[in-house]
Amino acid sequence: KQEVTQIPAALSVPEGENLVLNCSFTDSAIYNLQWFRQDPGKGLTSLLLIQSSQREQTSGRLNASLDKSSGRSTLYIAASQPGDSATYLCAVRNSGTYKYIFGTGTRLKVLA
């Protein structure tokens, strides 16, 4: 059974710092992995989608990597800003299924 873990659960950094969020999964037979952002009381906003055949995806200051063999993905945020403060969730879809399994998220606070 696929399990998705995100560590740390919470993180505070000063503005301008580069940071890395981690996502681990137990079953490497994934179809894709997505990173989302969630603001308090709101829905999720997709940040990056990585297909199983890809190693990384980039969008602006965000870069997500995928290492299926080790069951890990990282989300790199460059030059963090207070507006980046939110909860970041990763979700994995296994091959042969349309279900997505979510991690519990990392709550990020960027201090001005």
Partner 1 sequence: DGGITQSPKYLFRKEGQNVTLSCEQNLNHDAMYWYRQDPGQGLRLIYYSQIVNDFQKGDIAEGYSVSREKKESFPLTVTSAQKNPTAFYLCASTYQSQYFTDTQYFGPGTRLTVL
Strands 72-77 and 19-25: antiparallel
* 71: number of Cβ within 10 Å: 19
Residue with tokens 């000063």: 14
Task: Yes or no: say if 89 and 4 are a contact pair by the CB < 8 Å rule.
Answer: no
Residue 58 as a binder of partner 1 (CB under 8 A): the answer is no
Q: Closest separation between CB of residue 15 and partner 1, Å?
A: 25
Q: Tell me the backbone φ, ψ of residue 84, rounded to 5 degrees.
A: -80, -10
Nearer to partner 1, 17 or 109 (CB): 109
Alpha-carbon distances of 15 from 8, 24, 63, rounded to whole Å: 18, 26, 18
- Integer Cα distance of 40 and 31 in angstroms: 29
Window 10-49: contact mask with partner 1 (x via CB under 8 A): ---------------------xx-x-x----xxxxxx--x
Nearer to partner 1, 14 or 98 (CB): 98
Residue 85 as a binder of partner 1 (CB under 8 A): the answer is no
Nearer to partner 1, 15 or 39 (CB): 39
Residue 76 as a binder of partner 1 (CB under 8 A): the answer is no
Binding site for partner 1 (CB under 8 A): 4, 31-32, 34, 36, 41-46, 49, 89, 91, 93, 98-100, 102-105
